[in-house]
């Protein structure tokens, strides 16, 4: 089934079929969840809807403490995987051309956005196109994305729908063209442009969902209930402090001072009869129980989200060896490795589309050389640089590592090829021989 068959079967070739498609419940329900996530990340949490209470005959607004741990945790997961740009590897002839495409099209910046959207919403779409001879990437926001699938879960079409200043726009993608519609002017929906599509349908980046093979699942869903419990516990503690822990003056025996006890007791004195006493009575705060509950919730939050405790100021390690650091960040490594798998699938499709576009520009690749193209991720794990350099020095003295491999693992070197060229110039005799 292709897009034309889909429109014929479900909409009878209705000229405004895309309006009905974007109004379909399956899409609306998914988009609503995305907006809910956005509102949560903006600070609109469940605790904000807590109703007012009656205390002492008066209506009191309870504490509504909002903890923005979710944003911090999600940003950590994104930065841990992609804050350091991915490195292209493979045949030199292929890598050099793709590096130029990446640099001109700012693809590394787009990679960060993709991981950010996948982490927060479970999926996003990327459209690769050419503008003024430069291959570029457009990230389509999840809330504007309406993919169309056949009965075998193959994407056969795509609708990008959004509203700007009260005007609606629909960009309809198929394998060969992109059609653009709008309702601007209030005279119905009409076509405003149709363009050739040489890169095919947008690339679908998504993580894994147990109930839907076509869309991923937000990482926020795993931790939101824990955060709600933390906010509720902390807010109730603060409320209880103000309600139950304000001292109550208690006088036993005969009071010699005339009248009742002044509310402005600070700086005043009391005259009491013999054997009388004056005390300030407060209820005891069970802070130990609160500490236990809150620490348990915090640890559960870190465990479920795969966040190392040291990254959230829950520990103060110092002078750790490389092995110890890897152990502390092992859970973050596993989480990043899962996201890496999902990202690689989309990047592989991106490479194919870039190759197709380059062929239109008369840039050809040998099939075997192109198959070597791959990506290398550098996790943002803290490193004990002294241990790394010491190990590299030992291997070099033993003759157990090449210069290229040593430069790849050097924490102070970013561009290996450029570093080799600089070494050649410094030596002046051209004896440095490394293929990178």
Q: What is the pLDDT of residue 309?
A: 78
Indicate whether 61 belongs to any domain. no
How many CB atoms are located within 10 Å of the residue 265 CB? 13
408: helix, strand or coil: helix
CB 196 within 8 A of CB 131: no
DSSP state of 257: S
- The continuous run of DSSP H or E covering 162 comes out as strand 155-164
Q: What is the pLDDT of residue 418?
A: 78
261 compared with 329, residue with greater pLDDT: 329
Q: Give the chain's domain count.
A: 1
Q: What is the pLDDT of residue 213?
A: 83
- Name residue 28's beta-bridge partners: none
Provide mean pLDDT across the span 156-166: 94
DSSP state of 61: P
Determine the Cα angle at 31 with ends 29 and 37, to 5°: 105
Residue 221 has pLDDT above 70, yes or no: yes
Residue 9 has pLDDT above 60, yes or no: yes
At residue 315 the predicted structure's pLDDT band, cuts being 50, 70 and 90, is: low
Indicate the range of 130-139, 245-254, 281-290 predicted with least confidence: 245-254
57 compared with 347, residue with greater pLDDT: 347
Provide mean pLDDT across the span 359-387: 86
Strands (E), 274-356: 277-281
Nearest partner of 122 among 37, 230, 188, 4, judged by Cα: 37
Provide mean pLDDT across the span 223-244: 86
Q: What is the pLDDT of residue 422?
A: 85
269 CA to centre of own chain: 61
Lookup result for tokens 């590299």: 392
236 compared with 355, residue with greater pLDDT: 355
Indicate whether 380 belongs to any domain. no
Indicate whether 133 belongs to any domain. no
Indicate whether 139 belongs to any domain. no
- Name residue 140's beta-bridge partners: 125
At residue 435 the predicted structure's pLDDT band, cuts being 50, 70 and 90, is: very low
Mean pLDDT of the residues in the chain: 85
The CA-atom distances, in angstroms, between 264 and each of 260, 268, 269, 324, 337 are 12, 8, 11, 58, 63
131 CA to centre of own chain: 29
Residue 139 has pLDDT above 90, yes or no: yes
Q: What is the pLDDT of residue 409?
A: 75
342 compared with 281, residue with greater pLDDT: 342
Alpha-carbon span 63 to 232, nearest angstrom: 9
Indicate whether 291 belongs to any domain. no
Q: What is the pLDDT of residue 271?
A: 65
Nearest partner of 356 among 186, 176, 182, 151, judged by Cα: 176
Q: What is the pLDDT of residue 436?
A: 41
324 compared with 194, residue with greater pLDDT: 194
Which residues does 221 contact at the CB level (< 8 Å), separation at least 6? none
Q: What is the pLDDT of residue 347?
A: 94
Alpha-carbon span 120 to 37, nearest angstrom: 8
DSSP state of 357: H
259 compared with 369, residue with greater pLDDT: 369
At residue 270 the predicted structure's pLDDT band, cuts being 50, 70 and 90, is: low
Indicate whether 32 belongs to any domain. no
What pLDDT, in 10s, does the model give residues 28-86? 999 999 999 999 999 999 999 888 877 667 787 888 999 999 999 999 999 999 988 88
The reported pTM is 0.81
What pLDDT, in 10s, does the model give residues 170-183? 999 999 999 999 99
DSSP string covering 100-150? HHHHHHTHHHHHHHHHHHHHHHSEEEEEEEEETTEEEEEEEPGGGEEEEE-
Query: How many Å from the N-terminal Cα to the C-terminal Cα in the chain?
Result: 45
Alpha-carbon span 427 to 403, nearest angstrom: 15
183: helix, strand or coil: coil
Nearest partner of 292 among 300, 302, 284, 282, judged by Cα: 300
Indicate whether 246 belongs to any domain. no
Nearest partner of 311 among 47, 99, 76, judged by Cα: 76
Indicate whether 401 belongs to any domain. yes
42 compared with 403, residue with greater pLDDT: 42
Range of the structural domain that residue 431 is part of: 385-436
């Amino acid at each position: 089934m292709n897009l034309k068959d889909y429109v014929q079967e479900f909409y009878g070739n209705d000229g405004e079929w895309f309006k009905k498609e974007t109004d379909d419940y399956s899409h609306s329900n998914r988009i609503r969840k995305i907006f809910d996530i956005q509102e949560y990340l903006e600070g609109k949490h469940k605790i904000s809807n807590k109703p007012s209470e009656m205390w002492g005959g008066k209506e009191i607004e309870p504490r509504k403490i909002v903890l923005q741990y979710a944003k911090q945790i999600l940003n950590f997961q994104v930065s841990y995987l992609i804050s350091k740009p991915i490195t292209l590897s493979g045949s030199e002839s292929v890598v050099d051309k793709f590096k130029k495409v990446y640099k001109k099209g700012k693809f590394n910046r787009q990679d960060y956005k993709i991981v950010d959207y996948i982490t927060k919403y479970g999926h996003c779409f990327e459209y690769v196109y050419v503008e003024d001879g430069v291959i570029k990437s457009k990230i389509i926001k999840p809330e504007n994305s309406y993919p169309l699938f056949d009965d075998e879960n193959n994407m056969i079409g795509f609708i990008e729908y959004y509203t700007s200043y009260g005007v609606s726009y629909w960009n309809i993608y198929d394998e060969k063209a992109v059609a653009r519609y709008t309702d601007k002017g209030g005279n119905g929906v009409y076509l405003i442009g149709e363009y050739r599509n040489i890169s095919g349908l947008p690339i679908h980046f998504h993580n894994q969902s147990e109930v839907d093979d076509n869309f991923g699942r937000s990482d926020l869903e795993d931790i939101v209930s824990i955060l709600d419990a933390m906010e509720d516990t902390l807010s109730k503690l603060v409320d209880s402090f103000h309600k139950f822990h304000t001292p109550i003056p208690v006088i036993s025996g005969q009071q010699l001072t005339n009248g009742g006890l002044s509310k402005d007791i600070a700086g005043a004195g009391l005259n009491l009869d013999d054997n009388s006493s004056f005390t300030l009575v407060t209820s005891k705060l069970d802070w130990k129980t609160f500490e236990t509950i809150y620490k348990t919730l915090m640890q559960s939050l870190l465990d479920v989200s795969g966040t190392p405790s040291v990254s959230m100021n829950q520990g103060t390690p110092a002078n750790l060896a490389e092995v110890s650091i890897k152990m502390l960040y092992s859970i973050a490594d596993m989480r990043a490795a899962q996201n890496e798998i999902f990202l690689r699938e989309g990047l592989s499709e991106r490479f194919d589309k870039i190759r197709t576009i380059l062929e239109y520009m008369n840039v050809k690749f040998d099939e075997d050389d192109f198959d070597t193209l791959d990506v290398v991720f550098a996790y943002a794990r803290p490193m004990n640089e002294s241990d790394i350099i010491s190990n590299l020095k030992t291997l070099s003295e033993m003759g157990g590592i090449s210069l290229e491999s040593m430069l790849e693992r050097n924490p102070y070197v970013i561009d290996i090829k450029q570093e080799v060229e600089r070494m050649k110039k410094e030596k002046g005799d051209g004896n440095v021989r490394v293929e990178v």
